[in-house]
Structure 1
Amino acid sequence: MLNAMTVDVEDYFQVSAMEGAVSRSSWDTTPLRVEHNVARILELFAKHDIKATFFTLGWIAERCPDMVRSIVASGHELASHGWEHQRVTQQTPQEFRTDVQRTKGFLEDLTGVAVNGYRAPSYSIGAKNLWALDVLADSGYRYSSSIAPIHHDLYGMPDAPRFRFVASEGRLVEVPITTIRLAGRNINCGGGGWFRLFPYAFSRWALGQINERERQSGLFYFHPWEIDPDQPRPDGLPLKSRFRHYLNLGRMETRLIALLEDFRWGRMDETFFSAQERESWAISEAA
């Protein structure tokens, strides 16, 4: 069973947990660590012969164009993560439209490849803003991976389907973050802080259940800063945010390598879409 390996390309200071401690006005003067971390990830993927999908911020691509070109040159899929990690819940429909169209256009102009996928920062599409899926379809995206079917204090749509579903009157596919059903609720087993929180044995068991018992492809995500335990630690972070962001960073790369070796991995477009669907995308782009 092929699973989708994905990377949300952003730097450590751009995550939602840092909003109260690192102002956007300071981003341009904050040294970037993302290029070194992405280079390490590309090495790991090459060593294990894995192709993945990189959901990339436009803000990062504008400042690190060679890094983005190297992602594409290595055979990975390039997708959109929005321009500067602004949650969809903080945008009006018109602001969101401008954001996703700007990012898609910039990434495509930079690399010469079509950008078909989008992931909302902090999984910030849910029951109250499903209009965003229509905006994505209107803007030429083929799929989204922006809904987390879980209970969470910052995001989540626990009643959403757990696996790939069609949205926006058939114009868009949504691939939610992978969860496993335990004790009457959905538990995230698709990456992020949960992967660092739970013992690796749980993640391996859960993804195995998704593949073997439910006969579904899983989706895993992580961030370049998660393999960077030496990253700065800004003052002023609330205790909960500090715990979530820095928990077990020193163990992340070892766990990631085990995950790469224990399962089969591919790009989002190759995992969740048939060759015929991808061919129709190419025909549409050419037209």
Structure 2
Amino acid sequence: MTVDVEDYFQVSAFEGHIRREQWDGLPCRVEANVERILALFDAHGIHATFFTLGWIAERYPDMVRRIVAAGHELASHGYAHVRVTELDEAGFRADVTRTKALLEDIGGTPIHGYRAPSYSIGARNLWALRVLEETGHRYSSSIYPIRHDLYGMPEAPRFCFLPEVCEQLLEVPITTVAFGARKMPCGGGGYFRLFPYAYSRWALRHVNRRDRQSAVFYFHPWEIDPAQPVQRNLGLKTRVRHYLNLHRTEQRLRRLATDFRWSRMDAIFLSARDEVDGAHA
């Protein structure tokens, strides 16, 4: 179970409508939404991974500490939700180094994981995974192995793999379900709000039972907040993607919490890797 900790005005779809210089002047809702998520997880005994923006952590350090104190994994989502496709190698290295140090200082815990904003690592910038390894990260969850108009690497493996550009860093893709040769999304986000809950439950069970793999699920704090400020002058596609079924998300998450057992990324993927490495030592 993973949460991408960013506020409603920081999504990539709003980049043409809300400038980063405006962020500090907008009403933040992330802290209250994260508190609701922490309460939901506590009620169901869930420990999760929170991929957190450095920009958010700087402004809400107590929230970050509450995440860690509740037994969740703190991980990096970059500093200010800049897509990796907009950065060169030096800029990316500076971004992830800065964010890792910031989160470790605030949270008081090592940062092992990273998730690229808008899954913006793919076939054309796999060098970013090497940079993550060189900066001390142990895993990434930045590749979505689907075809999408904004992101995706459909030729990537569906499950955890060691990229060719890395020696140790694992890539843990968002979960998909196979329909013949086609991969269909079932790992959360807008698809969780678009499709009926029955589809998500069926697909995740299929991955568990047929593929015998753990599923990686994600959502954002703003997705449980139907009362968030509504942005004007958005295109139809953007409006639908962002606002569709926000009023249903929290209840669906409660069903998801009951229907499956969930844990942190490091506990599932890094622990298994460490056990294998220890057995080979």
Which TM-score bucket, shorter chain as reference? Answer: over 0.9
Letter matched to residue 90 of structure 1: E
Counterpart Cα distance in 2 of 1:263 and 1:154: 30
User: Which residue of structure 1 lines up, in the alignment, with residue 201 of structure 2?
Assistant: 204
User: Which residue of structure 2 lines up, in the alignment, with residue 188 of structure 1?
Assistant: 185
Query: Does structure 1 retain, via aligned residues, the 8 Å contact 2:7–2:28?
Result: yes
The total of aligned residue pairs comes to 277
User: Which residue of structure 2 lines up, in the alignment, with residue 134 of structure 1?
Assistant: 130
Report matched runs for 1:134-283 at 5 Å. 134-167=130-163, 168-274=165-271, 277=274
Counterpart Cα distance in 2 of 1:94 and 1:104: 15
1:274 deviates by 2.3
Are residue 97 (structure 1) and residue 93 (structure 2) matched? yes
Of 213-222 and 19-28, deviating more is: 19-28
1:86 deviates by 0.4
Report matched runs for 1:59-78 at 5 Å. 59-78=55-74
Counterpart Cα distance in 1 of 2:30 and 2:179: 35
1:171 deviates by 2.1
Structure 2 residues not aligned, in runs of 5+? none
Greater share of strand residues, 1 or 2?
Answer: 1
Letter matched to residue 219 of structure 2: F
Q: Which has the higher contact order (CA 8 A, sep 6+)?
A: 1
Are residue 85 (structure 1) and residue 111 (structure 2) matched? no
Counterpart Cα distance in 1 of 2:273 and 2:128: 26
Counterpart Cα distance in 2 of 1:250 and 1:279: 43
Query: Does structure 2 retain, via aligned residues, the 8 Å contact 1:20–1:236?
Result: no
1:280 deviates by 8.4
Query: Does structure 1 retain, via aligned residues, the 8 Å contact 2:144–2:174?
Result: yes
Structure 1 stretches (4+) deviating beyond 6 angstroms?
278-281
Counterpart Cα distance in 2 of 1:214 and 1:270: 20
1:40 deviates by 0.2
Query: Does structure 1 retain, via aligned residues, the 8 Å contact 2:76–2:115?
Result: yes
Q: Residue 177 of structure 2: SS of its match in structure 1?
A: strand
Superposed CA RMSD? 1.5
Q: Which of 2, 9, 12 does residue 8 from structure 2 map onto?
A: 12
Letter matched to residue 54 of structure 2: G
Report matched runs for 1:101-112 at 5 Å. 101-112=97-108
User: Which residue of structure 2 lines up, in the alignment, with residue 284 of structure 1?
Assistant: none
Offset from partner CA, 1:50-97 (integer Å, 9 cap, x none): 000000000000000000000000000000000000000011111000
Query: Does structure 2 retain, via aligned residues, the 8 Å contact 1:41–1:224?
Result: yes
Letter matched to residue 217 of structure 1: S
- When normalised by structure 1's length, the TM-score is 0.94
Q: Which of 6, 26, 30 does residue 22 from structure 2 map onto?
A: 26
The alignment-based identity, stated in percent, is 65
Counterpart Cα distance in 1 of 2:275 and 2:20: 37
1:273 deviates by 2.3
Query: Does structure 1 retain, via aligned residues, the 8 Å contact 2:133–2:166?
Result: no
